């Protein structure tokens, strides 16, 4: 199997027949064999019935149906698990992604050695205020945090080597950061291709403005997990120790200053009457709590089932 196309969807019944027709027209001469895996994320319309009908006329169409809505990450996880193609592509079901981009993405993987090729919707046909501008801000922040120079980290149109999708775990809402997950799994040859973006033909977007706030929070989460997930004490322990030292130095300085002035017969304030004393106490307490947090997190990490899971590239 040359290509597996994963299509997560939620209430996109009207788009599916046209999507299959477009994909067939784009790939029938470029690819010798391919499959389309529709992942129905708990649709409440007739999407599953449409998928079933399409399957009857085309055995290369497969479907996975969730009992309820779990989200795009869950859909991609199950799609990746079922994919059999040497190259795996993802594409949205709303007809805004163009399947004619897939042959060139496959060429970049095969001939240019890319592990992953991400689409870049350079010219978008979305609302500028609610999607385009927040997307630019989000992608700028993602580039700064991840170090991956992609213009559109969350573009749904992507292509991967098969071993990439089999080596990463997509969960929660981490589908936005698959390139970063791939990079941290050792697949650093990440390419980008400008792709055609179309206006939505049927229905409406299933994502609201809250996805951008969630995206920033998830970005911080994945950065922390990838950097300190196996060594949490390196963060909590260092910060906790610094806080404890700052608190200790302040407390000692206040006590010594009071004793010196008292010994010289100069006016002095009681240590407990000074605001800095309480700031020092807070620093001491926070320092101890952070250190203990790192210690407990280290114990959990050392006893986790996946503590020795590594991606091995070659064996001889």
Mean pLDDT of 26-44: 93
Please write down the HEC assignment for all residues of the chain: CCEEEEEEECCCCCCHHHHHHHHHHHHCCCCCCEEEEEEECCCCCCHHHHHHHHHHHCCCEEEEECCCCCCHHHHHHHHHHHCCCCEEEECCCCCCECHHHHHHHHHHHHHCCCCEEEEECCCCCCCHHHHHHHHHHHHHHHHHHHCCCCCCCCCCCEEEEHHHHCCCCCCCCHHHHHHHHHHHCCCCCEEEEECCECCCCCCCCCCCCHHHHHHHHHHHHHHHHHHHCCCCHHHHHHHHHHHHHHHHHHHHHHHHHHHHHHHCCCCCCCHHHCHHHHHHHHHHHHHHHHHHHHHHHHHHHHCCCCCCCCCCCCCC
Q: Which of 84-88, 119-123, 163-167, 242-246 is predicted least confidently?
A: 119-123
Whole-number pLDDT of residue 177 = 87
Is pLDDT at 20 greater than 60 in this prediction?
Answer: yes
Q: Domain ranges in the chain?
A: 3-228, 233-302
User: Which range among 111-115, 131-135, 154-158 has the greatest average pLDDT?
Assistant: 111-115
Choose between 271 and 58: higher pLDDT. 58
Whole-number pLDDT of residue 11 = 94
Q: How confident is the model at residue 104 (pLDDT cuts 50, 70, 90)?
A: very high
pTM of the model: 0.77
Whole-number pLDDT of residue 30 = 87
Q: How confident is the model at residue 212 (pLDDT cuts 50, 70, 90)?
A: low
Whole-number pLDDT of residue 172 = 78
Mean pLDDT of 174-179: 88
Place domain 3-228 in its CATH homologous superfamily.
Spore Coat Polysaccharide Biosynthesis Protein SpsA; Chain A (3.90.550.10)
């Amino acid at each position: 199997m040359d290509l597996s196309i994963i299509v997560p969807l939620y209430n996109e019944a009207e788009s599916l027949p046209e999507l299959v027709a477009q994909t067939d027209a784009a790939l029938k001469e470029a690819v010798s064999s391919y499959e389309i895996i529709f992942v129905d994320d708990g649709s409440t319309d007739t999407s599953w019935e449409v998928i079933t009908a399409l399957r009857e006329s085309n055995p290369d169409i497969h479907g996975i149906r969730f009992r309820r809505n779990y989200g795009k990450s869950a859909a991609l996880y199950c799609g990746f698990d079922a994919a059999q193609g040497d190259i795996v592509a993802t594409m949205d079901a709303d007809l805004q992604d163009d399947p004619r981009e897939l042959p060139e993405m496959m060429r970049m993987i095969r001939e240019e050695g890319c592990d992953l090729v991400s689409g870049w919707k350079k010219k978008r046909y979305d609302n500028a205020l609610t999607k385009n501008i927040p997307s630019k801000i989000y992608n700028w922040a993602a580039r700064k945090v991840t170090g991956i120079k992609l213009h559109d980290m969350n573009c749904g149109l992507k292509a991967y080597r098969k071993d990439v999708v089999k080596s990463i775990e997509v969960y929660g809402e981490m589908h936005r950061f698959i390139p970063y997950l791939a990079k941290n799994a050792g697949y650093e040859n990440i390419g980008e291709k400008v792709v055609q973006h179309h206006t939505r033909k049927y229905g409406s977007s299933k994502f609201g403005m809250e996805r951008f706030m969630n995206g920033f929070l998830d970005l911080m989460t994945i950065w922390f997990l990838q950097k300190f997930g196996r060594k949490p004490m390196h963060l909590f322990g260092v910060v906790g120790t610094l806080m404890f030292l700052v608190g200790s130095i302040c407390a000692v300085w206040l006590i010594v200053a009071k004793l010196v002035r008292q010994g010289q017969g100069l006016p002095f304030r009681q240590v407990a009457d000074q605001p800095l004393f309480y700031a020092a106490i807070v620093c001491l307490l926070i320092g101890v709590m952070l250190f203990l947090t790192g210690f407990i997190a280290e114990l959990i990490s050392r006893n986790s089932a996946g503590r020795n899971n590594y991606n091995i590239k070659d064996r001889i």
